[in-house]
Amino acid sequence: MIVVTGGSGFIGTHLCGRLIDDGYDVRVVDIAPPKAGVKAEFVRASVLDAARLTKMLEGAEGVVHLAALIDVASSVADPFSDFSVNAAGTINVLEAARHAGVKKVAFASSAAVYGEPFRLPVDEEHPTAPLSPYGAAKLAAERYVLLYNSLYGMENTALRLFNVFGEGQNASSPYSGVITKFADAITEGNQPIIFGDGEQTRDFVHVDDVCDAFVRAIEGQGCSSPLNIASGVETSVAELLETMCGICGADFSPTYMPERKGEIARSVADIKLARKKIGYSPRMALSQGLREILEAKDGERSIFKPKK
């Protein structure tokens, strides 16, 4: 049995499906219920509830720890809440795993630990300089996750996820919410909005590839270094929108708004270490993943025939 904290969220929903397809029993520990159709056992609990966590982890082969507050702006407004869930909550999970005799915790860290990269592609040796309390808490948490390998002989992994995208992502996600927003605008016949000149770049990685990385992490022997989980492909926001418009046959005619403060200019990961350590190899091309998202929306609305 695998415990997935935060299993009711975007990545968690996909991961539960993947683990169940692979034959695992799955227990979700989350403060929100799982999405309809997810066939996992659900325990409503917070990772802040240290007393209950050990019991929930008993008998598990491993834990994938995804539970987190992911809103970067909220982490600036309320750094203590962010720290409590994202850093202290991770220590609770580690302590619970240790006491329950669970050897493996695979942790969702973030590219936010790097801050503004000064060389690209960003490899794991690139200095860390988080620009937000969210990034700082993720960095602290991943240090603890890996520290438990040397302290207690655990086989933990810390995966630094870049911009994960896929079906079911909330438009407010700080990571790839832009894809959901573009898809909504295109399918509703509205003008998509680009902040800045559109030349800012991101490394978009499909959620199926991220799930594959977590399965490899939980089935492996742990890793003393954090691992970048990304596509290794740099894509500008303007290119992203052009690709989406191309798929739908819509005109590329965005509205440009002033750039948002605090956004990093460029991001792309070096993924060689994850390839070497856990055999990670992303399979889903951005255009294919985007097509799936847009086709899924086709069922809901009249996509591919944008309103004029």
Ligand X SMILES: NC(=O)c1ccc[n+]([C@@H]2O[C@H](COP(=O)([O-])OP(=O)(O)OC[C@H]3O[C@@H](n4cnc5c(N)ncnc54)[C@H](O)[C@@H]3O)[C@@H](O)[C@H]2O)c1
Residue positions annotated with a catalytic role: 134
Q: Compare residues 38 and 250 and give the one whose CB is closer to ligand X.
A: 38
Reading the block at residue 77, the tokens are: 């407004």
The residue at minimum Cβ distance from ligand X is: 9
Q: 171: how many CB neighbours lie within 10 A of its CB?
A: 14
Render 94-142 in DSSP notation, one character per residue: HHHHHHHT---EEEEEEGGGT-S-SSSSB-TTSPP--SSHHHHHHHHHH
CA angle at residue 50 from 47 to 55, to 5 degrees? 95
Give the residue with the Cβ less far from ligand X, 81 or 243.
81
Count CA atoms within 13 Å of residue 89 on its CB side.
Answer: 25
Considering the complex, what minimum distance in angstroms separates the CB of residue 84 from ligand X? 8
Q: How far is the CB of 12 from ligand X (least distance, A)?
A: 6
From 25, 82, 75, 8, select the one nearest 48 (Cα to Cα). Answer: 82
CB of 108 or CB of 271, closer to ligand X: 108
- Least CB distance from residue 254 to ligand X, whole Å? 22
Alpha-carbon distance 32 to 63, whole Å?
A: 18
Distance in Å, CB of 45 to ligand X, minimum: 7
Cis peptide before 174 (omega within 30 of 0): no
| C-beta separation of 178 from 286 below 8 A | no
Least Å from the CB of residue 175 to ligand X = 3
Residues that bind ligand X (CB under 6 A): 5-6, 8-12, 30-32, 46-48, 66-70, 85, 89, 108, 110, 161, 163-164, 173, 175-176
